Structure 1
Amino acid sequence: MSFTFERLDIPGVIVVRPEKHRDDRGSFTEIYRQDEFAAAGIAPMFVQENIVHSSGGVLRGLHYQLPPAAQGKLVGVVQGRIFDVAVDIRQGGPTFGHWVGRELDAEEGEMLWIPPGFAHGYCVLSETADVLYKVTGYYEPTLSRGIRWNDELMAIRWPLVAPKISDIDLNQPALEECENPFHI
């Protein structure tokens, strides 16, 4: 087995730990195997893969896409370190508005599986970071939505004092005001 899977407090969000094979030349790591993910109950069909380079102190999010382009995401870091956050926006469930956060870095190689129905964001804790993520829906700007990063209802404990945030992310609505078709 090349992976271990840890289910977090919110059902559906899973830490994925790939096995890293090291020797005197360096290391080799499989970052995705459909068979092992399916055996763990994760059966996404990835359609797009993205890499984002960010400076230290940058906060991106919280983002999601509306159906029919809703996205599940497998998020990992290939350089640097981030604090990654998933917020449950599935209305009608006991964890609506709850969040989980996880520090991810290139050295450890952990990844976070975030299913559709969650908003996603992260902040960069290192000087720079390169974040790689596979998604289950194509990026569709007309269906892209967001939630204010510092919404008091969610009370996310971001580990930055003065994050650098885009104007778009600064002007996102609160969770209770956002366009949200997701239900349990």
Structure 2
Amino acid sequence: MATVEMKRAIVVTSLPASGKTTVARHLAAQLGYPLLDKDDFLEVLYEKQLPETWRARRALSKISDVQFQERASLLDRVVLVSHWRPTCGPQDTGTPTQWLRDHFPSLIEVHCKCSPETATTRFLSPTRHPGHRDQDRKPEDLAASLVQLSNGYPLDIGPLLTIDTETKFDLSDLADRVAVELGRSGV
């Protein structure tokens, strides 16, 4: 009798600019899992229709959330990275999470521990696609927003593994810890 494998996802969470994408890329490569980054979906939309206002940007973000979820639901195993909706604070920001448990009976949350101060500094440093409308954000408003958001992570959606992304971190060790957790879940 053939064994049916349970669908599983590794969900990388934390504040914007906390190192989630770097961690997710490494995990996907180490585990041989596909990687889905919600920003990739969003930036494809930006190329078709550059938002001229924050409101237009949010509308495109909601469309990309749907595309991200639809693509993820087609996969049996995947590493997912996004700015996830926090458990507390503003509920009009971030990718919703309620669908994750419906599609993936086995979830592991990898939380990138990063202070709001470090995330703010990083956020203000890189240049992202202009469609993100980062230029519309005042640094002091961004800092206050990240402090508020920081109380909403981790998400408590499955077994939790934390990596401190403010210091030098060992991604190979994290991949090993995720593999052990996957073995514990029996899938």
Please indicate, yes or no, whether the TM-score normalized by the shorter chain is above 0.5: no
Alignment TM-score, normalising by the size of structure 1:
0.30
Choose between structure 1 and 2: higher strand proportion.
1
User: Which structure's relative contact order is higher, taking Cα pairs within 8 Å and 6+ residues apart?
Assistant: 2
Choose between structure 1 and 2: higher helix proportion.
2
